[in-house]
Amino acid sequence: MNYSKPVLKKHINITDTFWNKKIELIRTEVIPYQWNALNDQIENAEPSYSLRNLRLAKECIGARKDGIKTPVFPTNEWHYKPNGKNENSFYGWIFQDSDLYKWIEAVSYSLQNTADDTLEELADKAIELICNAQTENGYINSFYTINNPDKAFTNLRDHHELYCFGHLAEAAVAYYNATGKDTLLNATCRFADLLCEEFGENGKKGYDGHEIAEMALVKLYESTGREKYLNLAKRFVDYRGTKPYYFDIEHNKDSGEKLDYFYNQAHLPVREQNEAVGHAVRAVYLYSGMTDVAKYTNDEKLFNTCKTLFDDITEKKMYITGGIGSTNHGEAFTFAYDLPNDLAYAETCASIGLVFFARRMLQSDFNSKYADIMERCLYNGILSGMAEDGKSFFYVNPLEVHPEACKKDSRKSHVKPIRQKWFDCACCPPNIARLISDYAEYCFTETDDTFFINLYQGSEINNDKADIKMNSDYLNSGKVTVSIKVKKPFKLAFRIPYWSSSFTFSRKNPFIKNGYAYFDIEKDEEITAEFNPEIKMMKCNSNVRENIGKIAVTRGPIVYCLEEADNGKNLHLLRLAKKPKFSFDGACITANGYREEITSKRLYTEYDDAFEKPVRLKFIPYYKWANRGENEMSVYIRY
């Protein structure tokens, strides 16, 4: 197989107004805000306890070194609320360390974009704290270190030790790449070495209940060149779902507890899995790791499984916004075409994980559908996860919200009508921060002879092939001009976006394959691509029961929605006119439609034609919703 590699940030300067605003927001507002959140310093927000736990872990290690016996606390819960708990116990969710790791990763990418001494100092402080919480054998996990070190690695299914390790490894590699400082990387390698012993050839045949260690170990392998990390990643992939089930061994199958192997994608050996199941974030993190392992071990069967799983998600189980995971119950996939708008889970992390998966697939299979999915998720189900000021967040990203229902219908209690300052389980906010500050490395990939443009935005790139300048009006007119100062001959591949039903290139006759238009570049030149971001009425597959007779409005990659702030209460009474006249003012879309009048107070009346008043409907980008206070929202409208 031929692979492409991402073009690194050091070769890219993003000059785009849209994305630079977001990237700068992460650096100037989001990262400092999240540091305060991790330090429990946001008023009226859920405390994190992340830093508090690591400090306590350091104290425990110190005490034990001095021969002082530290108290032992229970390790059988997922969430440790301070109420009634000893003040020396771990607090928060058992995986609270991972939020700080994601924050360090976000800082790392941000430093690669823009040097920032203040942020770097904060990250150094955090790293010192983490390294001080490392036990002598290399282990890092504040939960077990505080509550009971003897229980380490006894509940892989539930307790996220390898998940926390995974986030640690991703942060360590990112920080090393950004700063050249290897303290965290060295500490992480010591932990990884311990894992290699614990789960090595003669060790436990275990794997984590929450995947990520697989892809993180591959990053560690890429960074250090140590094959044992790749081998461990492969082992984690290979063990999952094989019999006897590791989780049975670990949890004493005969205990009577009902084990749900699907939830952890452990129901079958991974190469036999052909449907995305279970917890959505775990699933896409696993599939990302599988794609990595397939690449480095030339495992075609594994790669084909990844292809099948990718198609299963994106063709049957994904919201138009790129959201995945239809149910709150287990934060999980349900079944094909089951995509309820108002009960949706569509966790921000799950869309982020889908971007990770798509990015990896794209590197091995040069097909535009993977970049299309990255784009769909980024502009919709991911950006919606953060307020425009960067100080509040959505965990769940529904496609329809009725605030009263969120409060009074317990089935919808997971859906919040306004973004939250923080969460007790705060996986999503630092995940958005790390993804957006890493945006540049999702844009372009290359092989020895080809440079792929996967995402369009104003940017300048210089590498060994050429100096490339992209002027982009992508989101507005769909026009993108690429000027090339060539250093050696190469092929330039433009992704043809899925939403563009027509397109033209200023240079004629590109070679078109798998959604990319290829040009041989031998001399300096300028190529203009014109895509067509027309307003579209999008229909769901008719198997999606919720959306029969409804459409969603899109323009280019952006999905639009109706909000009460623009259209009044009771959005369900609205419908679009038969042949609507749309107009676009550079930000919002308006169209003619109708509002049904409520003519009776009775619950049931004999059918009669509705009495409707003409109205002008206003649609805003979905990612912008809930920035004007609590109100109704709907992506789909009757048509």
Residues forming contacts to Zn ion in the complex (CB under 5 A) are 347, 349, 427-428
Cβ atoms of 405 and 327 closer than 8 Å? no
Calpha distance 457→439 (Å, rounded): 11
- Minimum distance from residue 442 beta carbon to Zn ion (Å): 19
- CA–CA distance, 33 with 516 (Å, rounded to integer): 40
Judge whether 53 and 92 are in contact, CB under 8 Å: yes
**Spatial distance between the Cα atoms of 242 and 254, rounded to a whole number of angstroms:** 18
Residue 256, exposed/middle/buried by CB under 10 A (0-12, 13-18, 19+)? exposed
Closer by beta carbon to ligand FUB, 250 or else 347: 347
**347 lies in the site for ligand FUB, by CB under 6 A:** yes
135 or 431: CB nearest ligand FUB: 431
- Asked if 425 touches ligand FUB (CB under 6 A), the answer is yes
270 binds, among ligand FUB, Zn ion, none (CB under 5 to 8 A by kind): none
Q: Taking Cα atoms as reference points, which of 422, 306, 400, 406 lies closest to residue 346?
A: 400
Least separation in angstroms between residue 165's CB and ligand FUB is 13
Q: Count the helices and strands in the chain (H runs, E runs).
A: 20, 24
- State the nearest-atom distance from the C-beta of 630 to ligand FUB, in Å: 24
Closest CA to 279 of 241, 314, 329, 338: 329
Q: Which is nearer to Zn ion, 309 or 428 (CB)?
A: 428
* Token pair for 172: 């360590």
Residue 318 interacting entry, from ligand FUB, Zn ion, none, C-beta within 5 to 8 Å by type: none
SS (H, E, C) 234-256: HHHHHHCCCCCCHHHHHHCHHHC
The continuous run of DSSP H or E covering 107 comes out as helix 97-113
Residue among 19, 35, 80, 95 that touches ligand FUB (CB under 6 A) = 95
Minimum distance from CB of 262 to ligand FUB (Å)?
A: 15
Binding partner of residue 425 among Zn ion, ligand FUB, none, CB cut-off 5 to 8 Å per kind: ligand FUB
Rounded-to-integer distance, Cα 115 and Cα 107, Å: 10
**Identity of the residue, 270 or 349, whose beta carbon is nearer to Zn ion in the bound complex:** 349
Task: Name which of 368 and 397 has its Cβ closer to ligand FUB.
Answer: 397
Comparison of 331 and 375: residue with beta carbon closer to Zn ion: 331
The distance of closest approach from Cβ of residue 426 to Zn ion in the complex, given in angstroms and rounded to an integer, is 8
Contact partner, 210, from Zn ion, ligand FUB, none, Cβ < 5-8 Å per class: ligand FUB
Q: How far is the CB of 353 from ligand FUB (least distance, A)?
A: 8
Question: 431: helix, coil or strand?
Answer: helix
CA angle 187, 189, 191 (to 5 degrees): 75
CA–CA separation, 246 and 334 (whole Å) = 24
- Residue number with the shortest CB distance to ligand FUB? 281
Q: Which distant-in-sequence residues (6+ apart) come within 8 Å of 48 by Cβ?
A: 37, 38, 39, 40, 92, 96, 99, 422, 426
Is the Cβ of residue 137 or residue 413 nearer to ligand FUB in the bound state? 413
Of 237 and 346, CB closest to Zn ion: 346
State in angstroms the smallest separation of the CB of 185 from ligand FUB. Answer: 24
Query: What is the full DSSP assignment across 601-622?
Result: SSS-----PPPEEEEEEEEEEG
Q: Evaluate whether 38 touches 103 at the Cβ level (below 8 Å).
A: yes
Candidates 16, 97, 292, 331: give the one binding ligand FUB (CB under 6 A): 331
Taking the least distance from each CB to Zn ion, the nearer of 168 and 540 is 168
**97-113 and 31-38 helices, crossing angle to 10°:** 160
- Binding site partner of 95, from Zn ion, ligand FUB, none, Cβ cut-off 5-8 A by kind: ligand FUB
427 is a site residue for ligand FUB (CB under 6 A): yes
Among residues 288, 350, 297, 298, which one has the least CA distance to residue 319?
A: 350
Strands 490-495 and 516-521: antiparallel
Rounded least distance, CB 425 to ligand FUB, Å: 5
**Of residues 206-235, those binding ligand FUB (CB under 6 A):** 210
Residue among 58 and 282 whose Cβ is closer to ligand FUB: 282
What are φ and ψ of residue 59, in 5° steps? -60, -40
Quote the least distance from Cβ 220 to Zn ion, whole Å: 23
R_g (Cα) of the chain, nearest Å: 25
The CB-of-92 to Zn ion minimum distance in angstroms stands at 15
Question: Which CB, 382 or 553, lies closer to Zn ion?
Answer: 382
CB of 197 to ligand FUB, least distance (A): 26
User: Which does residue 331 bind out of ligand FUB, Zn ion, none, counting CB within 5 to 8 angstroms by kind?
Assistant: ligand FUB
Q: What is the smallest separation between the CB atom of 282 and ligand FUB, expressed in angstroms?
A: 7
Q: Which residue has the tokens 């149910």?
A: 327
In the complex, least distance from residue 144 CB atom to ligand FUB, rounded to whole angstroms: 16
Distance in Å, CB of 328 to ligand FUB, minimum: 11
**How far from 543 is each of 233, 311, 538, CA to CA, in Å?**
38, 17, 15
Q: Please give the structure tokens belonging to residue 310.
A: 């990718």
Residue number, nearest CB to Zn ion:
349
CA atoms of 255 and 257, how far apart (whole Å): 6
Q: Which is nearer to ligand FUB, 259 or 538 (CB)?
A: 259
| CB-nearer residue toward Zn ion: 346 or 492 | 346
161 binds ligand FUB (CB under 6 A): no
Q: Which does 443 bind (CB under 5 to 8 A by kind): ligand FUB, Zn ion, none?
A: none
Secondary-structure percent of the chain, ordered helix, strand, coil, rounded to 5: 40, 20, 40
Nearer to Zn ion, 429 or 557 (CB): 429
Within 586-625, the residues that bind ligand FUB by CB under 6 A are none
Nearest-approach distance from CB 401 to ligand FUB, in angstroms: 20
Q: At residue 441, what is the residue type?
A: E
CA–CA separation, 480 vs 154, rounded Å?
A: 54
Binding partner of residue 170 among ligand FUB, Zn ion, none, CB under 5 to 8 Å per kind?
Answer: none
d(CA 620, CA 530): 24
Size of the site for ligand FUB (CB under 6 A): 8
**How many residues are there in the chain?**
639
Question: Which of residues 238 and 347 has its CB atom nearest to Zn ion in the complex?
Answer: 347
Residue 157 binds ligand FUB (CB under 6 A): no
Window 279 to 318, contacts with ligand FUB (CB under 6 A): 281
* CA dist., res. 421 & res. 52, Å (int): 19
Q: Which does 220 bind (CB under 5 to 8 A by kind): Zn ion, ligand FUB, none?
A: none
Binding status of residue 349 toward ligand FUB by CB under 6 A: yes
By CB under 6 A, tell whether 336 contacts ligand FUB: no
Q: Which residues bind ligand FUB (CB under 6 A)?
A: 95, 210, 281, 331, 347, 349, 425, 427
